[in-house]
Amino acid sequence: MRSWLKRDGIGLEIGPLHSPIAPKRDGWRVETFDHADAPTLRERYRESPGVDVAAIEEVDFVSDGRSLVEVVGETGRYDWILASHVVEHVPDLLGFLKDCETLLKPDGRLVLAVPDKRRCFDAMRPPSTTGEVLQAHMEGRVRHSSAAAFEYGARSVVLNGAHAWLADDCGEAQLQYDLATCYALFQRALASGEYHDMHGWVFIPSSFRLIAEELYQLELIRMREEVFRAGAASEFFFVLAKNGGGPHRSRQQIALDAVEEESSGLGALTAKGCARTKAVAELTASRQAAQERAEAAEAERQATEAALRATERALHDVQAALQAVRQSTSWRITGPLRRLVTLARGSSANERE
């Protein structure tokens, strides 16, 4: 992610907690935005496993219910904004993107790391849609819906006991919570006007890509895809910029990509699907190996033909040179001498016999 940041520019990192991507201690010109100030964060996470509270850096802006732009209080300030595993938590995704756009300079970048729902506890939830993003923005949501709270609990799974996994991991997915607990989450979210932290949005790489492109085509945001990277881990990377070139794929192609990705992710969650996924992977690897062998054989054939053509050209050049010598004046003049030499060699051979 750091490779997409302007090293000598000024940036904003959102929600870094104890593991910033662009830490101040390493010389980055960065301001941070989080849900509490540094002393509160250190105290709140003091007993949390895996959190090094000593690594929590000073927070420049604290969330207080206002928009990101209102809290920062300045437009066009940043060369880059960095948000790792943040967008799935914001109640109004479109509002968040518009705020980032306002805070960025004309050539600025929004760099995102986003959880891939196929490889984490969201695996059984359906991907979020552009329509849902539009609805949340029109409602001006400042907290997630009670329906999202229920789904967040009711469809949360672990695979082989893990909350996140790699692309080639398979097993038997298990629901984490009983139904009564999930209904309690629903009722609490319904009755409370407070924000409850959760994954309110769920993405696979192409579904997020589709949402971003559709929001751009609807002229609701001016930022467009500049970089898209999906890997084997439980996250993918996305860079939006006002001068981004776009996905270079049609909406229909991206939508079809999303359907295929969704299907591949579900295959890892059951023993039957896992076996099928592994069989398909083995078949694909076998076909790839056969294709590579065929390509290597074709390359060898082409190299042999090229060498043969080069030999033929060299032979032709030698023959042409020899013909030129034979047709030359000196060749004709020395003809009798060559015949005498030939006769002399023949006589010498007869005498030896």
CB atoms closer than 10 angstroms to residue 25: 8
Read off the pLDDT band of 347 (50, 70, 90). Answer: low
Residue type, 98: K
Residue 296 pLDDT: 85
Read off the pLDDT band of 270 (50, 70, 90). Answer: confident
Beta bridge partners of 105: none
Residue 267 pLDDT: 76
Cβ contact 240:223 at 8 Å: yes
Residue 135 half-sphere exposure toward CB, CA atoms < 13 A: 8
For residue 186, pLDDT over 60 is answered with yes
- What is the C-alpha to C-alpha distance for residues 204 and 95, in angstroms, rounded to an integer? 21
Residue 146 half-sphere exposure toward CB, CA atoms < 13 A: 11
- What is the C-alpha to C-alpha distance for residues 50 and 56, in angstroms, rounded to an integer? 13
- What is the C-alpha to C-alpha distance for residues 76 and 109, in angstroms, rounded to an integer? 11
Residue 284 pLDDT: 56
For residue 139, pLDDT over 90 is answered with yes
pTM above 0.85, yes or no: no
- What is the C-alpha to C-alpha distance for residues 203 and 212, in angstroms, rounded to an integer? 12
Closest CA to 109 of 13, 206, 202: 13
- What is the C-alpha to C-alpha distance for residues 249 and 3, in angstroms, rounded to an integer? 24
